[in-house]
Each structure stands twice: as structure tokens, then as C-alpha cells.
A and B are shown apart, each in its own frame.
Chain A
Amino acid sequence: MLKKLLSILLATVLCFSLSSLIACDVKDDSEVDKSEVLWNGFEYFDRDVQLIRLLNEFGKVDQNSNPEYVHSGEKSLKITPLGSRVNNANPYFMIPATSTRFEEISFGDFTNVDKITCWFYNAEQTPVNVGLGFGKGALKMDDRRDIIQKTNVEYFSLNSGWNYIEYDVQPALLKMQGLNLQAVMGLMFEFDCVESHDLKDSPEIYLDDITIKYTDTPKSQEYSATVKTGTNNGNPYWVISDFENATDAYAYMYYYAYPAPVSAHPIIKSVFAGDYNVITQNGLRVLLVQKKHGGTSYGWPVIHLATEPIKAAIDAIGQDIYDNPYNYVIAYDAYNGSNYTGGWSHEFYKTGISTWQSFSTNAKTWKSYSYNIGSLMDQYETYKTNNPDTDLINWLDNPHFEFRYSRHYKDTNTAEENADRPFFIDNVRIEKIG
């Protein structure tokens, strides 16, 4: 919005300056469509292109001036993604939302943003996948390879030719991920790993006219969802996330626990189970956690469930869970989609609270896991007794939960260690057992 206002101001000033020489045809303020602002049309190298940040051994981006691949203006962005061949990690790049050098780059305030739209040209004969999401702070910027977390990634399939993409911005979900809505870092574009170090193996894609569409009525920043309910063997449950819709899909965020591999980011996204030949127990979608094959780095991805959907489930249950916490468990179903036995763990991490549990999972098998909330509450109480000065908040009032896909390191060169390891999570819930 700021850019638009500045643009209008500048145009008006110029118009007045030149009024004796030319007829000015700039629209007045009331005529300009304030609902959309061009974020990046890739017209100016210094401002629009040079500041792009490549991550995960991206490949290459370049300013394109071939009109065939320009949506409007004279330039667009040519994208040739590769990714890490060694670690088989997806490549992504970020277009920053703000700049200390170019004042006109000031798109970090997403308070009133409705959508982001852009145009892709897929120069390939086959579809190409792209994910759009947001940058969420640097983990370690002084590493030789930059790491910026990405979040709220939504995936699209680009057909040959021009594709119009609309990315629906949901402030509540961004906020849930810990993003400061008034200082968003930038927009992320993720592609599939090509598993080559040679650009001739890369798909050729063009991007133009990234536009922000604002709304006069800001979307709510507060999490609100109708908590689904159901029964399991006669036990009622309240769904935290079954990954069936966008809200559920963003109900998690992930990061790497130390030691962080620099580029071995796994694929973590809500997917149609059928695409992976996985039969769900209910619904169509599941959360895929896939460490792809290869990679010499070790470390493990942590999938952290946001507080809001857990709290919503607790609130939906009501006072009974406070009065009878031993009657409730937090539970979920997990499916090892690989051909190998794999490690899995979860914990309710908090300083001083040790709830870490690890499991071995059998290949191609669903299994349910649970943790008794009463036991969890006991641990909190014990900790608070031993640490009277602690400011630890009761878990039910500030719930949190993490999954860790622990078997993610490579210590041999066996086929097992090198294999793709898809893992699926579904039906994260609070279930009444008593």
C-alpha cells in the first residue's frame, strides 16, 4: 500500500512538473485501484532481482527479457531450479518483503493482505510443481549456505504455458506460525529437487507480476475453527488436526533440531493419501514427512504443533479435562510408508519436563500413539514443586506438542539408509479413555 501511495505522490509531483510540456494522464487517487499493488515485476535488476535469496543450492535465477516469457512490462524472472543433489533437498528462493536500500520495497505489513497472485510460465512440456510460502527468520545466516525457514507453503502444479496463481493469505495462520504480520520477511518459492548439478537438467520456468491484493476488511488474526469430533472404539475424541483443510495444514511448523544439517530439509506437507498409496482411516489427506534419500548430514526434523488448535480442542472438551485429566490422552496415528523399520518419537517439550518417547515403526503399517494428559500434568506439578520460582504455565492453558522423525541420519551407505523415507501423520486428537 505504501508503495502505491508513494507512487501516486511521485507521479503527481512529476505531472505537475511537466504540466507545461505534456498532458498528464495520471489517474487521481480515487481512480487508482487500491486493492492491489505490484510487489515485483522484475523490471529493475538492483531492486527486483539482485536481492533474491537462493536457498538449498537452488540453481539459478536471472532477469529475462525475452518477450515470449514476459507477462507485462519488459522483464520477468527466469527460474532454473536444481536443489541439493547430495542431500536431495528441495530448492527454494525468497523475495524479500522489505529492503534497507530500496525504500519502495516495503511490503512487510500483511495486516490487510487478502491474496498474493503471480504469473508463472512453464516452458516445459510437463507440469512443474511450485510451493508458495513465507520466510520465517534465519536459523544461521553466517553459515556458508544460507538457511531461512519457510512456512505456510501451499503447493501448485504449473501446466505448460502461462499459469495464474492465487495464494490465499490467512493472517491467523501466519500468526499461528509465529510470524509478525507487520514485518513479514519475504515470499518463498519452492520447487522439486532435480537431483542434478547441471542446469541442462533443470526445468525452465518464468515468473512475473507478483501482486499483493489487499482487503478493506482485514481478515481475522485470531485462530478459529470448529473442532471436529468423533469416536474411536466408542471413545469420543476432539480433533486437533486431521490435515484435511488449509487451517489444519498450517497447524504445524517444523525446524531442525541441533545439529542442523544445512540443506537436508525434508518435505513436510499436507497431501492426498491416495497419491502415496496410503489408505487412511478417515478423510482424504494426511501430513507427509519425508526425508528423501541421500545426504551426509544428520539431525532430525521437529514438527511442532501450534498451540491454537490444541487449545481449541481443550476448550471444546470443557472443564472435564481439567477435572479428570487422567481420562484423556493426546493421540495420533502414524504410518511408516517406507520399506524399512524407522524411528519415531514425540515429546511435550518444555524446560525441565521430560516426556520424550521413542518408538520403532514397522514398514507400511499404521500405528496409534498416545500420551496420557494426567501423567503430563503430574510432571508439570512435580517440576513446579521442585522449582517454586518457575513461571511454567499449566499445559492445558498453554499446550504444545512435537514430533521428531529421529531416524533421519545417515551412518552407512546401505540402500536402507539411502532410501526415501515417507512417513505420514493423521488424526491428531484428544481422546477420552475413561
Chain B
Amino acid sequence: MKKPKLKKILTPILAGVMLLSACSEGATGGVDYAKLSDVEFWSTYSTEKVIQNNVSMYNDIKQDAEIDVTAIRGEEEAGQIIMTAGNKPVKEYDIVLSDLSGQNNAVFSKNNIKVYHELYIEVGAAGEYYTTAGFYPDALAPFEGVKAVKETGFDKNSNQGLYVSFDVPENQPAGTYTGSVGVVIGGQTKNIPVTLNVPAVTIGKETHVASSFLNEWYFYRGELDTTEDMYDKYNKALFDYRLGCNNVTVYEEDVNYYAEKVCEYAALVECPGYNIPWFSINYSSAPYNLNGRDIVGPHAYDVDKLCLYLRVIADKGLETGVDPFKKAFIYGWDEPDLSFGTDRAAIYVKEWSYIVKQCKKIVLAELEQKSVSAEKRDLLDDIMESLEDLPHLVLSNKFLNMEIDLDEEEITYGPYFSALGGEASRDRYRIEEGNPLWWYGCTAPRSPNPTYHIDDTVLSARIESWMKADYNIQGNLYWSTCLYSEPGQAEAITYPENFYTGNAARSLSVNGEGFLFYPGKKYGVDGPIPSLRLEQIRDGLEEYEMIYSLKQIYGEVSSLTGETGSEEEIMSYIYDTLYSGTYVSTTHSTFARARDTLISLTELAQSDAKVCILDVAEGRDYTFKIFVKDGYTLKQDGVALENGKAVGGGKIYDMVLKVNEGKKLNLSVEVGGRTLGLYMNFGSASTNYGATYAVENGIIKQRANNSNTVATELVNATLVNSAAGADEKYVKLLLGEATNAIQDFVIDSDIIRAINATDDKLVVRLFNAGEPINVEFMIRRGSDQGWETKGSMTLESGINSVSFNGLSGYNWNKIGHIDGLRIRIGAKGDSARDYIYFVDMTVYKV
């Protein structure tokens, strides 16, 4: 039955618009659309954000319009093409994809190339890494979907990004693949050259670090679908990004259904994790005696229900043949310090931790008594072991004042990213060695800590995973992936009307907070579409997997050779170019070098030659302990290494690198007809400023209680350090009682002000003649004279290096220049100190 009358008003309008549109390129003199030649094509790093409505600020980052990507097997990696329209708008464009060709007739299928049309979201006030307001790229809409809804056009004087991602199968032959991506505008085609390098490095689908990213919020608003089925699609989309979900169902409260879903996810190798839920109950009026202790909390976990869930899930695991707890966690009460205050939170958390541990014990005892067939015995053992290890996450940025007995109570802390920059802090939150540790970020902390904020660099979201590998962090939680809402009054979250391009500050005035997905429905995707940030989070996790692979291989080689050594030795030099503590300080190019180096290290280790750099000793020269298997010749600068020590089916070489002579680490080895290599720059020229210089130039101002004095006391180093040279001098730092302010000293010098992006790092060496003490080190920004913390560490007894790493990666546009260094020592209230000495300061060039 048709009744066109009802839409009669729209019909003439639509007809008119279509006709007008049809005539626009003709003699009517309508809109003058751009031809291909009117559009500038250029490329940049996939980690760079190019604002849509600013075409004048990118001259220094523009690269030729080509895609040159290195992607290992089992990962996705992207290149980015920017189309800049001049004075004419682009009506529409099309994409032509073709297979890429490799050596020996190898092909990289176009089906593994994903082209995304970048969508732009409004950042009204940018205050993190980026400071320019504008429309930032974030949502990545599949090109075909954008084409289907006729939204490929873009305005004059604007940028349009294409995110071209290569999904490399694990069985893709290593090699170099070339071809092109065609962009068609006005009937003419621009062929953008593509080079895809696929090293012989493979990572699997499994991700070896846990995470929980919550899909529970407003997925249904964008998808117009509230079903468990759609929620499941969101969870599985997270798995595609190597991220774990939270609950496995969104509304369903049936324990059997939950258990079925847990087992389904447990069987998915790509699923990194999921939550086992708890339910709140008030035991204050009727205490629950649990294994001899009364549970009395008004906000306790329901003991019976938790046991029920653990029991049913264990049984379902046995029934379906999977270990349902191996990747599981219990996400406890979120931020209890904010809900209850730190004092009460400590009481509650201790009780919750007891409940979890005891429920595990109850169910473990039941499982112990279970009679199973012989073929299920191993599985039952695995399930019991995993249940025993099942972590109970307590996300709190406050360290709670409570005694925890890990034999009776189960707790895994998860503070802010920023809380775990120092080893001492990590030890404290870990409670005891071997206990897991998670972390998280939300509106805080801010850049330069890792964030998922849109006005932060995506490098920060990516590098978070490098930090996890470096600091042995077991998991990361993010509170919301799909806050499909718009900023409301105060903290209210209102219903969205613009899911893609509206105000980016949807929650608490933080750009991008609470959403990493966008609805896919409009663009023909049955589930979410990703953001640029999510892509980079996955890229970081893929790099984590490379480091994980290194860790495994280095471990095997260490066992084989009897040598102590790990990937940490060599990786620490790469980490130093990316961050200090939890402060990200790198550039797109520096990061690209770090990634290339990681790939090279992994390729060497995964190769049959199993080349592993087991140790690095740093003195005036660098000494490397390098393993290579028998039958392979390892070369430095093309010259074979000699005099290796035969161990475990290979040789270990002690190789000395004279950095001061300009030498770089330049290893190569022939494996299976291919030359694998590693190139690392351990520094170029360096300038050292000693204690005498510091005193003569008055560059050190020591302080306590707001009084500054210039350090002038030069002492013979041998008086405090027997290992010092006879003519070596130190500057004694006199730090008065810290009644009103924390003790510190400031280095204020033209040397500091001259530091710029051509410098690699600045190292201040201090001698501590007393007990270990925590220090925090900062820079003063020239732009606004504000202090910015760059890291913290424990000043051990003896010589210590306080290293301001990754200088070339500092956000110099924001900083301007460095106006001074500051090292804060101890805490407010500390007594006077006179046992810390300035040794020297060295600036290293890139």
C-alpha cells in the first residue's frame, strides 16, 4: 500500500536538490568542485594528528605522498595519507585498491588492506600535547561505508585523512611488497605508491597482558540495539584490538548464561580477559561468618553469590573443556576511596579482599573433592590453579592504609598510570613480589603521562604498553569505550545528537574521555568502528607482544647458555628514548626508530641464529654480551666477531663499542639467504660539566624553607667516595630543614637553556653518602615558567644518574625552552641534609 501524499512536500525539494546538484558541474556555474590537480596529497606518520580545518601548520611534517610501512606478521600497521583541498571543495572521491606484489610472485592481498576515511571531532580547547583548537581526526570509518552514505566529499581549505592499514596474516611470506592505492577525484586517478615491508617476525593472536575496557555504557544509543548480541559484538571488537572486556553480558543476570559466555570467551585465543562479577550486599545487621571471620560491611560482596558464580563457571569450564579463570579477573568496587573516603575504603577493601580469597578457598575445596574422568583431570588442575590466581582488582589512586595478608586476602592494586613511575612505588602497590599490578587512567592523569585524550599525542596511548612491559604491569583498565553522549550541565551526560563530529569533551571537559569506539550502524558495520586512538592502543599491544616474544627467547637462551641476561638490558636503551618514569617524551620519528629497533631485535631473536644481546655494560665505552647460535656469523660494521665463548650450542661475544669515536651498534647476520641487522645509536658527542664548573659558574641553587643559596662548597670526592679519582671534586649540597617546603636544588644555567631537539639526554650524577632517599626531577618550561615533573627515582647510596631522557622528543612547541632543572629530595618535614653531592652533568647530542 503506497500513500505518497504524506511525503509530497519532501519530494519537490529532493528533486530540486538533485537537479541542482546534477547541474553543478555544468554550464549553470554552480559549485566549482576541485579537480585532482587542485588537491595536494602528502603523507605523515600514522601517529600524527592532522587537524581538519588547519591547512597551514603542517609544512614541517609533510612527507611525499607515499605509504611506506613496516608491519610484522600477525599485526596491523598503518600509514596515513592526507588530502588537502585548496580553494575548491572536493565533491567526492573514490579508492582503488589492488594486490601488492612481492618477490618470488608473493602477493599481499588487497583484502588485507583497510582504508579508513578519518572523521573529525571538535576540540574546543586543547590543553594536553596539542594546544590548537580545531577538528581532530578520531573516528575511522571504513571507506566503503562512507562512500555508501555519500559522505566522501570535503570542504575547501581543509585536510582529509586516509588511514591505510595493513593486516598482515601470520603466514605472509617475509619480504617487501609494492603497489599503489588509487585515489579518484573528478574522474582522474592519483596513484599513491605503497611499500609494505614484512620482516620475518611473527606474533600470534594471543595477547599476554590483561586489560579491561568497559563496553557497558551507551553502545545501544549509537547502534539502536540494546541486545546481548550487540554487546557481544562490542566485546569481540575489543578482542580484535587485543583488549579485554569487562562483563561478558550486559543485562543478563542468569548465572548459567554468564558461565556459558565466560567459557565461550575463554575459548577465544584472541580474548585477553573478562570479569567475574560480584554483587553488593549489606551484612551490617546480619553478619556473615565466613571461615571464622564475621563479615559485617554494609557494602560487602555477597558471599553466596560469588561462590555460586565461581562454582557454576568452574563446572561449565569442565563441561566445555576450557579453563574459564585463566584470563579472568574480579573487578572490585571501583575507586572505593572516592566512594567511601580513604579510611573507610581501607576497611571495606580489606573485607572484600578477604571475601574473595575465602570464596576461592571454598570453591577450590569443592573442586578438590570433585570426581572427574582421567582426561578431565589436567583441565581440573588448570582450572583450580587459575582460580587460585584469579586477581581481585582494586582500582584506587590512593594507597590505602591497611595490613594485607595475601594468604587470607586477595588484592591486586590498580592506581593511576602516574603512580607507578618509580620502582619504589611499584613495589609498594604490588604489596609483595609476584603479586600482580594493574593501572589505569581516565580524566587524570594528564599528558605527558599516558592518556587516551584526543588532544594528547596518540603515541602516549601506544607507549603505555611499552611501559607495561618495562615495569612488569599485568593489566590496564579503562572505564568506558562507548560514552555516546554529549556534554551536559555540570557532570550530567546528555543524549547525543551527533555521534561522530560533535564536541569531543563529552565527560568532565576532557577531550575524548569515555569513548574509543563510534557506532558502526551508519557506515554499514554491524558493531562499532574504531578510533585513531584505539588503533594506536592495539599497535602498542602488538609491540608488547614483540617484547614478550623477546623475553621468552632471551629466557630460553639464558637457560641454554647458563648466562644471566634478559631483554631488559638492551630494551632499556629503547625505553629511554620514549619516556621517563611514566612521562612520555618522544617524537614521531624517534618512536618510529624505536619500533624499527624493536622489530630488528625481535627478528634477530626469532631467527634461527637466535641473536640475543644478553647484557649491556655502560662505561666510557659500551660492552655488549651477544649470543649467536653455531653456524651463523655475526658481524659488526661488516666485520665478523671473533673469540666468542662457546656455550649452549652457540657463542657469546663480548663486543666493545667505542661511542666516543662515533661508533654505532651495527650488527648483521645472514640467515636463510636474508641479511638481518640491528642498528642502534648509543650517543654522539657529549659535553661534560663537572663540579668545579658548577661552583665557578654558580649554577646550583640549593634550597630549603624557600631560601635559596648558591652551592659553593667544593670537596675532594675521595673524602666521601673511595672509588673516586684523586683529583675528582664534588659539590656538597647543603639542604636545610624542610619545614615548609620540600628540600630541593635547582640547576639554573645557560647550558640548560640551550638544550633543544638536537639533544638526546641530560644526565645529572649525584653522590648519596647517606641512606636511600626518593627524589623527583623536573624541568621549568620557558614558555610559562611552570614546573613539569619528568620522573622520580630512588637515590641509592653511592653514585646515581638522574637522567632527563628523550630530550629530542620533548614537546618543544609547548615548552619553548628549558629554563631550569629541579631535583626535589625527600619529603616535607625532613631534617637538614648535607650528604648529597653534585658530581657532574653531561649533555648528550642525538
Contact = CB atoms under 8 A, between A and B. Distances in A.
Interface of A: 4, 7-8, 10-11, 14-15, 17-18, 21-22, 24-26, 32, 36, 38, 41, 43, 45-46, 49-54, 57-62, 71-73, 82, 84-86, 99-102, 119, 141-142, 144, 146, 162, 197-199, 209, 211, 296
8 contacts: A14-B20, A32-B9, A43-B10, A59-B225, A82-B227, A85-B251, A142-B488, A146-B221
A58 B3 contact: no
Contact of A141 (B226, B495, B497): B495
Given A18-B20, A142-B492, A197 B252 contact: yes
Interface in B1-32: 1-7, 9-10, 12-13, 16-17, 19-20, 23, 28
A199 B226 contact: no
A102 B502 CA distance: 13
A204 to B, nearest CB: 14
B13 A54 contact: no
B1 A10 contact: no
Contact of B12 (A25, A50, A73, A82): A25
A71 B5 CA distance: 11
Contact of A99 (B221, B227, B497, B521): B497
B1 A71 contact: yes
Contact of A209 (B6, B216, B221, B497): B6
A60 B224 contact: yes
B13 A7 contact: yes
A354 to B, nearest CB: 26
A141 B493 contact: yes
Contacts of B220: 54, 58
Given A18-B16, A54-B220, A61-B224, A197 B251 contact: yes
B217 interface: yes
B17 A14 contact: yes
B6 A38 contact: yes
Interface string B211-226: 0000011101110111
B251 A52 contact: no
Nearest to A15: B16
Given A21-B23, A72-B2, A54 B10 contact: no
A59 B227 contact: yes
Contacts of A46: 522
B491 interface: yes
B249 to A, nearest CB: 8
A170 to B, nearest CB: 24
B226 A72 contact: no
- In order of increasing CB-CB distance, the 4 nearest A-B pairs are A14-B16, A101-B497, A60-B225, A142-B493
Nearest to A17: B20
A46 B222 CA distance: 11
Given A18-B16, A18-B20, A142-B488, 9 more contacts: A7-B13, A41-B6, A45-B149, A54-B220, A59-B226, A62-B521, A73-B7, A86-B253, A141-B488
A54 B9 contact: no
Interface in B489-542: 491-495, 497-499, 521-522
Given A54-B224, A54-B226, A11 B9 contact: yes
A101 B488 contact: no
A351 to B, nearest CB: 25
Given A11-B9, A141-B495, A71 B221 contact: no
Interface of B: 1-7, 9-10, 12-13, 16-17, 19-20, 23, 28, 149, 216-218, 220-222, 224-230, 251-253, 488, 491-495, 497-499, 521-522
A275 to B, nearest CB: 29
Contacts of A100: 497
Contacts of A199: 227, 229
A426 to B, nearest CB: 35
Q: Which of A24, A57, A209 has the most CB of B within 10 A?
A: A57
Given A14-B16, A45-B522, A209 B3 contact: yes
Contacts of B5: 72
Q: Which of B3, B6, B216 has the most CB of A within 10 A?
A: B6
A21 to B, nearest CB: 7
A233 B7 CA distance: 59
B7 A43 contact: yes
A162 B218 CA distance: 33
Q: Which of B12, B20, B226 has the most CB of A within 10 A?
A: B226
A15 B229 contact: no
Given A7-B9, A18-B16, A50 B224 contact: yes
B87 to A, nearest CB: 24
Contacts of B522: 45-46, 50
Q: Which of A49, A119, A142, A211 has the most CB of B within 10 A?
A: A142
Contacts of B491: 142
B253 A41 contact: no
Contacts of B6: 36, 38, 41, 71-72, 209, 211
Q: Which of B225, B227, B493 has the most CB of A within 10 A?
A: B227
A307 to B, nearest CB: 29
A61 B497 CA distance: 17
Contacts of A141: 488, 492-495
Given A15-B16, A72-B6, A144-B217, A198 B497 contact: no
A101 B499 CA distance: 11
A210 to B, nearest CB: 9
B7 A54 contact: no
Contacts of A102: 497
B495 A146 contact: yes
Contacts of B10: 7, 38, 41, 43, 73
A71 B2 CA distance: 5
B278 to A, nearest CB: 14
Contacts of A41: 6-7, 10
Q: Which of A17, A38, A197, A296 has the most CB of B within 10 A?
A: A197
Contacts of B16: 11, 14-15, 17-18
B497 A18 contact: no
A100 B220 CA distance: 21
Contacts of A22: 19
Given A54-B221, A142-B492, A38 B7 contact: yes
Contacts of A51: 497
A144 B522 CA distance: 23
B594 to A, nearest CB: 39
Contact of B13 (A10, A36, A162): A10
Nearest to A87: B251
Contacts of B230: 60
A59 B217 CA distance: 16
Contacts of A58: 220, 226
A49 B224 contact: yes
A18 B226 contact: no
A18 B16 CA distance: 7
Contacts of A162: 1
A4 B13 contact: no
A57 B229 CA distance: 12
B766 to A, nearest CB: 50
B227 A144 contact: no
A347 to B, nearest CB: 27
A18 B7 contact: no
Contacts of B253: 86, 296
A57 B251 contact: yes
A53 B495 contact: yes
A26 B230 CA distance: 44
Nearest to A14: B16
Contacts of B492: 141-142
A142 B19 CA distance: 45
A72 B4 contact: yes
A25 B13 CA distance: 11
Contact of B499 (A18, A36, A50, A144): A50
Contacts of B19: 18, 21-22
B441 to A, nearest CB: 21
A14 B220 CA distance: 38
Nearest to A51: B497
A41 B2 CA distance: 13
